[in-house]
């Protein structure tokens, strides 16, 4: 008996965007390259404060943030994004 194919791939729809916030330029570039190659519109910033400033302008579908970054870490960023009505629906 053949087993069903459980592999699933999802192609991003038009305009699906991701905001990447990481103080490591290497990690940021790697995520940006991989996500862009997968079809996402990617914006990369170097810390949580820049992400907090950028998110309301860009209205991303998802924010990927490092936990520890200068000026503001990912956990604080997530709390502030969820508390702002403009970004409360962003997944992080």
User: CATH top-level class for 17-83?
Assistant: alpha beta
Q: Quick one: average pLDDT of 2-16?
A: 56
pLDDT exceeds 80 at position 81:
yes
Q: Which residue do the tokens 């103080």 mark?
A: 23
pLDDT exceeds 90 at position 92:
no
Return the H-helix or E-strand segment holding 41. Answer: strand 41-45
Single pTM value for the model: 0.82
pLDDT exceeds 50 at position 7:
no
pLDDT exceeds 50 at position 36:
yes
pLDDT exceeds 80 at position 3:
no
Tokens of 39: 């079809």
Delimit the domains of the chain by residue range: 17-83
Beta-bridge partners for 43 = 19
Residue 91: its pLDDT value, please? 87
Q: How many residues does the chain have?
A: 92
% of the chain residues with pLDDT over 70: 84
Count the alpha carbons within 13 Å of 27 in the hemisphere toward its beta carbon: 13
């Amino acid at each position: 008996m053949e087993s069903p194919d459980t592999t699933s791939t999802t192609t991003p729809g038009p305009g699906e965007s991701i905001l990447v916030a990481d103080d490591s330029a290497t990690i940021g570039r790697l995520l940006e390259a991989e996500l862009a190659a997968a079809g996402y519109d990617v914006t990369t910033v170097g810390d949580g404060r820049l992400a907090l400033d950028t998110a309301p302008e860009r209205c991303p579908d998802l924010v990927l943030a490092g936990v520890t970054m200068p000026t503001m870490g990912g956990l604080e960023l997530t709390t502030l994004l969820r508390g702002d009505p403009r970004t409360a629906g962003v997944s992080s």
